[in-house]
Chains A and B, each alone.
Chain A
Amino acid sequence: MRVGIVGSGVMGEVHAAGWRQTEADLVGCWSANLEQAQALVDEYGMRVYHSYSELLENSDLIDICVPTFLHKEMVLQAAAAGKHVVCEKPIALSVEDGLEMIEACQQAGVRLFVAMVVRFFPQYRLSRELIAKGQIGTLGVMRLKRVAYVPRLELSDNWYLDERRSGGMLVDLMIHDFDYARWLGGEVERVFARLNKATDGPGQYAQAVLRFKDGPMALIEGGWAYPPGVFRTALDLSGTDGLIEWSSDEHAPVRSFTLSKEGSSSAVGLPTSGLSDDPYALELAHAYHAILHDQPFEVTAKDGLEALRIALAARESIATGKPVTL
């Protein structure tokens, strides 16, 4: 299938690199930022398209890597053109928009894959497999951490920091762990969250307590709070018969200690897996094969929507100071 990428920012580039590791025919990119798009196509051997409709005409699958507030419009257009869609997370800014996108794709007979990439990180996948095999018994308390630095204003046009465009830190960043917790724990009953903002600037730090209908509870920590370049993730999953611990602080197969250039961190923090299989390539390859062979996705657009629902409930809890029942 021919794949066209919309957007040439951080995720456009990460996805282009990912697609290059699959058998997809990566045809080109359309982006509002022509200069950035040109650099991207030069790097990954594809061409720039000058309109969305031109890209749609020449693609079988559209990969939407634009800021979240544009997802809905792009997905609806792709569905109307009869093209399959890979859409970056979060699916949308509201549950209603997400539902509309899912329904539009269903009616058009095209597939919609929401790129919940954490499900393709090997340590998160393996943890789930171990739990599914009963290695830690019944799940009790989950602890998940995803704290990064503040997205760099000068490199990212600030849209991550604009809640109207990104949904904010909970919807853009913490959604990964809301999704992962739901993958392990099932449906959420109740959410309580708190967030503190920097006295100056866009820094923020949040903590959310989730209670699941089947019993487990989770503490999810997220933030744009660390010094530039620092991004830490961790999981701690405890059950009646055992425990799984992992932290990005732990030693990696390779560690290097070098003099770093001033301001060398990327616009927005991305966790790395340190393994040969790039999780972004894995998720794109999975989506590609599932579409090609008409097989179910391992993570559905509905899952992406439910993760959004939890993130929005957490945001509501922060605003009201009260727990939110789903």
Chain B
Amino acid sequence: MRLGILSFAHLHAEGYQAILKTLPGVELVGFSHEDEGEGRRFADQYGLRRFAQPQDLLAEGLDGAIVCSENARHLELVELAAKARCQILCEKPIASNLKDAQAMKAVCEQNGVHFMTAFPMRFAPSTQSIRAAIGGGQLGQIYGVNGINHSEIPKAHRAWFADKELAGGGAVMDHVVHLADLLRWYFGEVSEVYAEVDNLFYPGEGVDTAGLLLIRLENGVQASIDCSWSRPTWYPRWGHLKMEVVGERGTAVMDSFAQYLNLYSRQAARAHSWVGFGPNPDRAMLGEWLASICEKRPPSVGWNDGYQALRVALAAYASASTHAVVSLERFS
């Protein structure tokens, strides 16, 4: 199977290429990246063939392409890949606005290709076991969920994350979709969103860095999402993904990346770091994508999942600017 990565702008591209190289039957043809200096560096660092333009890479004839550009450029790359009849795995959030997201759906349908949204947390054993506990009734009727997706400001890794034009927003755009997707997966659609959003951590930045959402799902469950870039850059790790599901018969506390060693090293980038030894959900996610290509079927996480999660993030911005509860019906 011949695969390519369209843009290395998103740092997940680095993780994906490392996993793809280990998979039998996969040929990673190369990646496209327009910035020559950056592109050369990635090509040298990872021993990959670089294509200056996405069209050049797609001309090689690929079975699938991973879109890892800045959020605002997803549409243009999805269009190129779909027209080249490539199956698509697209980074989250799938777009920075609903119009772009809808255009992606249209172009994929017109060209008969499947679109998978990169929601790796669906492939983590921790989130799956929480889903099983909820579905199996072990927690009883659910009161609510306390969701946390904290991180450091990702700017040190890639500057565009804090660029409103390219990212479409800051912490809310970056993080809300992961927990929104898990909540949808567990309970069904979101009905209402209330949010406080602001830049409270990096006064010089032009995007939001703090966000608290209080949402309601159609089944009546309430949930909070803290998407803030509130971990300092000297925190032992990038951040974490946590969830507490409080039910009438029990509570489940999830910390997806709790399997780590405490490392205190003179050599490491951080004096104290949490080095994970748990399963890498990206690997299982890529496995599902590749299986869906082989089996010529839609992937388990589709365009609609990315789209619905994006609606929640956009509703959070709307709520924060009006200080009002926003009904999701307004965002379609």
Contacts and interface: CB of A to CB of B under 8 A. Distances in A.
Interface of A: 138, 140-141, 143, 145, 147, 190, 192-201, 203-205, 207, 209, 211, 215-219, 221, 223, 225-227, 230, 238-243, 249, 321-323, 325
Contact of A194 (B200, B222, B246): B222
Given A321-B325, A322-B324, A323-B325, A221 B146 contact: yes
B185 interface: no
A197 to B, nearest CB: 8
Interface in B225-272: 226, 228, 230-232, 235, 246, 248, 250-251, 253
A226 B251 contact: yes
A219 B202 CA distance: 20
Contacts of B226: 141, 143, 219
21 contacts: A141-B200, A141-B228, A192-B214, A193-B214, A194-B214, A196-B222, A205-B143, A207-B214, A209-B196, A217-B196, A221-B146, A225-B143, A226-B246, A227-B250, A238-B230, A240-B200, A240-B201, A240-B202, A243-B232, A322-B325, A323-B324
Interface string B201-225: 1110000011010101000111010
B232 A242 contact: yes
Contacts of B325: 192, 321-323
B232 A223 contact: no
Given A217-B212, A226-B251, 8 more contacts: A141-B200, A147-B246, A199-B141, A209-B212, A217-B200, A227-B251, A323-B324, A325-B323
A141 B220 CA distance: 26
Contacts of B250: 227
B144 interface: yes
Given A192-B194, A204-B143, A215-B198, A199 B232 contact: no
10 closest A-B pairs by beta carbon, nearest first, are A205-B143, A140-B200, A238-B230, A196-B143, A194-B222, A217-B196, A207-B224, A192-B194, A209-B212, A141-B228
B212 A225 contact: no
Contacts of A198: 141, 143, 248
A265 to B, nearest CB: 16
Contacts of A239: 201
B203 A240 contact: yes
A199 B251 CA distance: 16
B248 A141 contact: no
A226 B195 CA distance: 27
Interface in B140-177: 141, 143-144, 146, 148
Contact of B230 (A140, A205, A209, A325): A140
Interface of B: 141, 143-144, 146, 148, 194-196, 198, 200-203, 209-210, 212, 214, 216, 220-222, 224, 226, 228, 230-232, 235, 246, 248, 250-251, 253, 323-325
A323 to B, nearest CB: 6
Given A192-B214, A196-B143, A323-B194, A215 B200 contact: yes
Given A141-B228, A147-B246, A194-B216, A209 B200 contact: no
Contacts of A196: 143-144, 220-222
B141 to A, nearest CB: 5
B146 A207 contact: yes
A199 B214 contact: no
Nearest to A204: B143
Contacts of B198: 215, 217
A199 B222 CA distance: 14
A33 B248 CA distance: 32
Contacts of A227: 250-251
Given A141-B228, A211-B196, A221-B146, A243 B235 contact: yes
B200 A219 contact: no
Contact of A238 (B203, B231, B253): B231
Contacts of B214: 192-194, 207, 209, 219
A321 B214 CA distance: 11
B242 to A, nearest CB: 10
A137 to B, nearest CB: 9
Nearest to B200: A140
A223 B143 contact: yes
A25 B143 CA distance: 46
B321 to A, nearest CB: 13
B246 A225 contact: yes
A219 B201 contact: no
A196 B215 CA distance: 12
Nearest to B228: A141
B323 to A, nearest CB: 6
Contacts of B323: 190, 323, 325
A116 B25 CA distance: 65
Contacts of A211: 196
Contact of A207 (B141, B144, B248): B144
A190 B230 CA distance: 21
